[in-house]
Amino acid sequence: MSLIVQKYGGSSVATPELIKNVARRVIKGYEAGNQMIVVVSAMGDTTDHLIDLMGKITDDPDPREVDMLLTTGEQVSIALLTMAIHACGYPAISLTGSQIEIKTDEKHNQAMITDIDTTRLKKELAENKIVIVAGFQGVNKNHDFTTLGRGGSDTTTVAVAAAIEADRCEIYSDVDGVYTADPRIVTDASKLDYISYHEMLELANLGANVLHPRAVELANSYNLELYIASSFNDTLGTIVRGDEEMEGKKNVVGAASDLGEIKITVERVPDEPGIAGKLFNALAAEGVNVDMIIQNLQRDELNDITFTINQEQEKKAVKVLEKINPELNIDNYHIDRDVAKISIVGAGMQSTPGIAARMFSAFGKNNINIAMITTSEIKISCLIAKEQADQALNILHKEFRLNQINN
């Protein structure tokens, strides 16, 4: 008998028929003699719809109330899945994040899990029940509901699996594994049999939303192997695990695009020590995360500083800029929302010269202009025009022959 923690994302529970499909899959695992804990997300686009609804009421909702609203999505799906399992004649119970005491810090909308009490989970499993857990949510020390950030059910799943020392942790969605690029954009993308935590973390951070980055980080810290597969078929999926191969790492294992960033250029800033520090400190103090940065010296000892942030933080960033403009003598700022970040990832690139040059040349040959570049040991990212994002992803996929990765 194994203890299995499974997660089914929004696309796997989008309709009553799909919920019944998940119920059948879970029962199959239970019938095989396993203990089953199943984490589910809200049905389909429910969370997006709740956010739209909120936007019709206010532009500036209280973060506590946002969590009160968004946690309802997962409460619907856990109840329906449990009913579907009951209807097939099997014992099951649904539990919210607060009922199993997924404790988090105070940060509404982006809370971090601090502890999970497994007492209730173990009690229900001991009574031979299938346990259905609401993903994406927790409870803080004031007993208020919190959420873990968009896509956070993956994090719930890994945290629960680690806390209860599960034998297997399986994440199901509408795609049958981790591909070399989003298969919706690159039709000949290849499925990877294995991917290391580090490479998966980079891909997830750079836009591959098949897994939530925090879930990958957590799996890495607990050395918990993840199995990523589809809830729509039984095709073999991808294993995310520690890096076993020291030699023979691929230069590039995947490419990803992120359409969620905007570019801000602060124009004609005095070329003096300390100015950049003041600007980025002020942004950090408001919780604005800056991603890419470049500074260009213009004429007359004035600089342009350009940086990217997540589009959801635009309002906060503008507030900061309006406030510090007079203090820093900032002439003007400009926001470009039509940008996309296109990246390649691979642990082998740190020991292979020429990867960046190949990426830039491939873009050059196809008339794709690069506005910004960042690199780390295992990734290279370029900011380009949003309208060229899909084309650029396909170009890189071809340039690095990712369709032949398994050969």
Ligand X SMILES: Nc1ncnc2c1ncn2[C@@H]1O[C@H](COP(=O)(O)OP(=O)(O)O)[C@@H](O)[C@H]1O
Ligand Y SMILES: N[C@@H](CC(=O)OP(=O)(O)O)C(=O)O
- Binding positions for ligand Y, rule: CB under 6 A: 9-10, 41-42, 47, 73, 135-136, 150-153
Any contact of residue 21 with ligand X (CB under 6 A)? no
- Least CB distance to ligand Y at residue 67 (A): 12
Partner in contact with 96, chosen from ligand X, ligand Y, none, beta carbon below 5 to 8 Å by kind = none
Of 125, 81, 121, whose CA–CA distance to 100 is shortest? 121
Which single residue brings its beta carbon nearest to ligand Y?
10
Q: Looking at beta carbons only, is 10 or 103 nearer to ligand X?
A: 10
Q: What share of the chain is helix, strand, coil (3-state, %, to 5)?
A: 40, 25, 35
Residue 210 or 283 with smaller CB distance to ligand X: 210
- 49 binds ligand X per the rule CB under 6 A: no
Could you tell which of ligand Y, ligand X, none binds residue 73, using a CB distance below 5 to 8 A set by kind?
Answer: ligand Y
Rounded to a whole number of angstroms, the minimum distance from the CB of residue 178 to ligand Y is 15
User: Which residues, 6 or more positions from 40, have their beta carbon under 8 angstroms from its beta carbon?
Assistant: 7, 8, 13, 22, 74, 77, 78, 81, 132, 133, 134, 135, 153
Q: What residues numbered 23-42 form the site for ligand X, per CB under 6 A?
A: 41
Cβ closest to ligand Y, residue 153 vs residue 196: 153
Q: Which residues contact 70 (CB under 8 A, 6 or more apart)?
A: 47, 50, 51, 136, 137, 147
- Whose CB is nearest to ligand X? 9
Angstrom distance (rounded) from CA 51 to CA 147: 13
C-beta of 40 vs 279, nearer to ligand Y: 40
One DSSP character per residue, 261-316 reads EEEEEEEEEE--TTHHHHHHHHHHHTTPPEEEEEEEE-STTEEEEEEEEEGGGHHH
Q: How many beta carbons lie within 10 A of that of residue 358, not counting itself?
A: 17
Spatial distance between the Cα atoms of 155 and 213, rounded to a whole number of angstroms:
8
Nearest distance, CB of residue 239 and ligand X, angstroms: 14
Binding-site residues for substrate, please? 47, 74
| Segment (H or E) for 257 | strand 254-258
Give the nearest distance from C-beta 144 to ligand X in angstroms: 25
Distance, CA of 405 to CA of 349 (rounded, Å): 15
Residue 122 near which of ligand Y, ligand X, none (CB within 5-8 Å, type-dependent): none
Q: Which does 138 bind (CB under 5 to 8 A by kind): ligand X, ligand Y, none?
A: none
Cβ-contact 84, 23 below 8 angstroms: yes
Binding site feature residues for ATP? 7-10, 179, 184
Residue 322: CB minimum distance to ligand X, A:
35
Residue 175 as a binder of ligand X (CB under 6 A): the answer is yes
Residues belonging to the chain = 407
**Candidate ranges 83-91, 178-186, 286-294, 349-357; the one touching ligand X (CB under 6 A):** 178-186
Partner in contact with 42, chosen from ligand X, ligand Y, none, beta carbon below 5 to 8 Å by kind: ligand Y
Burial class (CB in 10 A: 0-12, 13-18, 19+), 143: exposed
Q: Choose between 206 and 275: whose C-beta lies nearer to ligand Y.
A: 206
Which of ligand X, ligand Y, none does residue 213 bind (CB under 5 to 8 Å by kind)? none
Nearest distance in Å: CB 210, ligand X = 4
By CB atoms closer than 10 A (0-12, 13-18, 19+), residue 115 is: exposed
Number of residues that bind ligand X (CB under 6 A): 19
CB closer to ligand X, 203 vs 283: 203
- Beta carbon nearer to ligand Y, 10 or 138: 10
Strand order from edge to edge, sheet including 261-270:
290-297, 302-310, 261-270, 332-336
Return d(Cα 7, Cα 219) in angstroms, integer.
14
Q: Which of residues 191-230 bind ligand X (CB under 6 A)?
A: 203, 208-210
Closest CA to 208 of 232, 239, 183, 244: 183
- Report the interface residues with ligand X, using CB under 6 A: 9-12, 41, 173-175, 178-179, 181-184, 203, 208-210, 254
